[in-house]
Structure 1
């Protein structure tokens, strides 16, 4: 008979309502036999007792319902974000807290390149922290006029490029492409907003960020997950080219791989019929660590990038409304056809106009082809109001809220993008709960760091970077936040039968913590240290941070 292992802990928070706490959990063949007391474990004898975690807290492995596997490979490129960040190996990357510091970091990175024509890619740029200042092509030309430069904004929806890149792409004052930003004189500034405009740049250099995935990136993605207690994570905007599909299989079958991957097909990269065929073909690759079933729909853009679609009265500072990545009629057709095909949609909606459009589309799809328990999920859904949450509940639509936004950009949303009234209702977990909507919360890594305990802290406290409490009526309890990053997230992914709680038959996936998020004060949840994870019964230790 296969060996049985029993793990002991100071407390095991199971998220199983029939047995919420335990001190021991039995594991065989990578799955949970049962949880309870040491005496309860005798039914599984003979077993090996592991006391390595006897002084720690075990909780279900965290489920990151909105992140991107490029979190593993993006560290191959210079980081120019505002705050310090740590890569999967634990190395600290220093933030750039002024536009001048960004240019200096790019200049240093450019000097490390061997020849004059290799493209310089960088990521993490966030100009909303710099007031009215926007980076332009002339500033990037001071870094290089011979090599193309592409700087990805932290939100992933915008690029800044230099004149060399615009020359290569044929971007001029006469260019009439949605998202090519121009100054008052009609000259392109070098800022490219959303899909159509960004494609003009990537067509010249390739897209190292969203153009596909390779096995080394997926291996490092798993390292990032271990560091923060995540055992199941999405790749929520994936190219399903043959190389990427093969990489998912290779990574998932690598001995010791510590993550259950859930890629989501980028539905706007090909025709509707081709996308549905790709999504169904990928199902044959599924295994215990690879779970294809998700499809990602992109509607609008980013609130802090001013490309999200908002209902009246629009942006607080008077900026024009944002951009659609596909026209609304095409988006409606896409939702209908993927729904009819039985696929599981996760739909990017930042602005409330985008949420309204997609709720209309989902309602039409349900009327045309009723599907019980579809669990289509609105992702981010940051500006939804109470009436929209009521519609979600009625339609069986889930929501995955971007709680980290409250900390990272809450001050800017209150002052610049939304104004104080609407900012108070951003990422409204309290309303979702009151209206009976199944919800989870997320990081959108690498937009913000993957760290579910920090995400839970954001939902519980709703504090901005300056310490302002933004919408206390939308705060939720620590218990509900822990549910949102475990069983709640698993539900939105149709994975709650396999992960999200510690109960018999599920994967033996646990986060190993130094303290209990249910026992520390609410403001200390983000400070809980993560030892690592247990994935399929095998322990994996987090990297030690340096720098």
Structure 2
């Protein structure tokens, strides 16, 4: 009798677990739109982004792939009984935009944190605004829960400084608060948060990071730079699975509205890597996903193949390059420059301050060579030209030890790259990915505060790269700035700042060059050009339909809207509608 009861309980428990698993599985599963047998897209300006930048009026798609391109007459001749015909009425159809570098699903942070951005993104103008917004968040959660804010920019605040530990203590002395800078390279923590993290005045600065102290008293200011944020961020940003799912859903929707069919998460730990992988496999993320795992997080496991990137591949997911962060951000005064910052910070005692690297050269050489010799693609973050020198030296050393071809090593941001560095990069097969949106969001301050007129005018030297025949990409580094592909393209072409000035007009590029940098060249950067990035026969039908031509001038480039998005022939987004109509 007892054995029977135990058996029944065991069966009931198993069935309950099975039901829970099945319900959870279907709750996580994303919906996949219908895939028509065949589709024709006609009467359009179709920018193919092929080698010749051909523009055609029609394409044919069967299943997920493009089967023909040409004139309306040629494509309509392929029409069958079950073919869906889209008459695009002269609008522009392009390959879906490929995010060359960002931090998906970071744009969804507003779902779990408090947005502290200044105009034109948000409404924060001073530290009092930050305090007000943080106080509004105290109603949610308990004293044990971290209060998380993001996106503040000290250079845009009226006080011209970072908020301090004491500023955050004025919000709460009991609830831990973590406020992340817009660059993502620094943060401010209140006293309760510092206590939880075990940081005191006696805590030593970590390698490649600074725990900022008051120059007069030696007391902690609450500001943490670069690697010092690693002492607190894992606690403050330990989001739940539900939070992560909420962020991902919000970010995916924002990227679709921007026409992005391939998202990128550049610098993920193992937990996020696997989380994104499974959400992709469950079709919860509509887009294709490219990730760059952080090399330092599991360095030995990558080299031993205990953590093999080939095990995390699918038709819509890849873990391609490993990322190393060599320096910080210029607007945060942590990028590593060869010459001092143009204007030093008010409390900066070293008037020759040039920022600092996260690695010493010997250590960087060792890491890059080990990964390079293991056959892995690398993405190295370098903003300041001194950091770029370090990257070039490390790659040169690795190439000498283990000569390789077609490595497509990525230099992330490459913001202050000099002409001689571009020459060296071309020889070493280093591809720059320019954060060209800087010219709008921080261009005025780069010119007047951070770098000065000469160096400021040379940031993101895209025209110099074009002159050398180099392939390159451009990116938003979202959520550092919003995922607005139209503004990114416009900034790359016009180099107009927020004040309306033009920063280094000689470095502007054409609209077609900018479009290639977010389509075919962005796909090529991650070895995806055989399947995506252009509209050619045999490639996957990742498509974005715009309401106007991006080639019709600067105003059109800035203000175009995304009307519709297809991924693998399936329509996932239609502006102003909950779901796509079958035909235009």
Q: Which of 115, 119, 133 is 1:79 aligned to?
A: 115
Aligned equivalent of 1:90? none
Aligned positions of 1:100-115 closer than 5 A = 100-110=128-138, 112-115=139-142
Whether the aligned pair in 2 keeps the contact of 1:4 and 1:44 (CA below 8 Å) is: no
8 Å CA contact retained: 2:131, 2:171? yes
Written as runs of structure 1 = structure 2, the 5 A alignment for 1:244-393 is: 244-255=272-283, 257-270=285-298, 272-277=299-304, 281-317=308-344, 318=351, 320-393=353-426
Change in CA separation of 1:319 and 1:467 when aligned onto 2, cut-off 3 Å: farther
Indicate the residue corresponding to 1:218 in structure 2: 248
Q: 1:34, CA displacement in angstroms?
A: 1.8
SS state at 1:326 partner: coil
Give the alignment partner of residue 124 of structure 2, picking from 81, 86, 96. 96
Question: Do the aligned residues in 1 keep the contact of 2:457 with 2:503 (CA within 8 Å)?
Answer: yes
Task: Compute the displacement of 1:39 (Å).
Answer: 2.4
Q: CA deviation at 1:346?
A: 1.0
SS in structure 2 at match of 1:179: strand
Task: Indicate if the aligned counterparts of 2:212 and 2:224 stay in contact, CA closer than 8 A.
Answer: yes
**Counterparts of 1:367 and 1:254, CA distance in 2:** 43
Q: What's the offset of the Cα at 1:217?
A: 3.5
- d(CA) in 2 for partners of 1:525 and 1:287? 34
- 1:341: how far off? 1.1
Matched, 1:459 2:492: yes
Distance 1:416 1:19, change over 3 A: closer
The answer to whether the 8 Å contact 1:228/1:542 transfers is: no
Pairing 1:493-504 to 2, within 5 Å after superposition:
493-504=526-537
Distance verdict in 2 for CA 1:11–1:543, change over 3 Å: closer
Counterparts of 2:566 and 2:67 in 1: how far apart (Å)? 15
Tell me the residue number matched to 1:15. Answer: 49
TM-score normalised by L of structure 2: 0.86
CA deviations on 1:165-217 (whole Å, 9 max, x unpaired) are 1222333332221410111221110000011x1122235445449x9994543
Q: Over residues 226-262 of structure 1, what are the superposed CA-to-partner deviations in whole Å (9 max), with x where a residue is unaligned? A: 1111111211011123xx3443333223348431100
Q: Counterpart of 1:171?
A: 199
The 8 Å contact of residues 43 and 88 in structure 2, kept in 1 or not, is answered as: yes
Aligned-pair CA distance for 1:12 = 0.8
Structure 1 gaps of 5+ residues are: 86-93
Count of equivalent residues? 530
The structure 1 residue matched to 2:94, chosen from 59, 71, 87, is 59
RMSD of aligned Cα (Å): 2.4
Is residue 76 of structure 2 the alignment partner of residue 36 of structure 1?
Answer: no
Residue 534 of structure 1 deviates from its aligned partner by 1.1
1:183 paired to 2:214:
yes
Partner residue in 2 for 1:528: 560
What stretches of structure 2 of length at least 5 have no aligned partner?
Answer: 1-34, 345-350, 578-584
Q: Deviations over 1:37-78 (max 9, x none)?
A: 232225644251322533421011111110111325412211
Q: 1:142 to 1:437 in 2, by over 3 A?
A: same
Q: Indicate how the Cα distance of structure 1 residues 484 and 152 shifts in structure 2: closer, same or farther if over 3 A, else same.
A: same
Change beyond 3 A, Cα 1:37–1:524: closer
Q: How does 1:227-246 map to 2 (within 5 A)?
A: 227-241=257-271, 244-246=272-274
Give 2:569's aligned residue: 537
Q: CA deviation at 1:101?
A: 1.1
Alignment partner, residue 394 of structure 1: 427
- Offset of 1:365 from its aligned partner? 1.0
TM-score by length of structure 1 reads 0.91
Give the 3 Å change call, closer, same or farther, for CA 3–169 of structure 1 in structure 2.
closer
Q: 1:308 to 1:337 in 2, by over 3 A?
A: same
Q: In the alignment, which of 149, 152, 166 is matched to residue 122 of structure 1?
A: 149
Residue aligned with 2:426, SS: helix
Partners of 1:395 and 1:232 in 2: CA distance:
27
The alpha-carbon distance between structure 1 residues 118 and 255, as it changes in their structure 2 partners (threshold 3 A), is closer
Q: Please identify the structure whose Cα radius of gyration is greater.
A: 2
What is the deviation of 1:225? 1.5
CA change 1:351–1:336 in 2 (3 A) is same
Partners of 2:43 and 2:484 in 1: CA distance: 22
- CA displacement at 1:81 relative to structure 2: 0.7
Q: Does residue 151 of the first structure (1) align with residue 179 of the second (2)?
A: yes
Kept after mapping to 1: 8 A contact 2:327/2:384: yes
The answer as to whether partners of 1:9 and 1:58 remain within 8 angstroms in 2 is no
State the partner residue of 2:456.
423
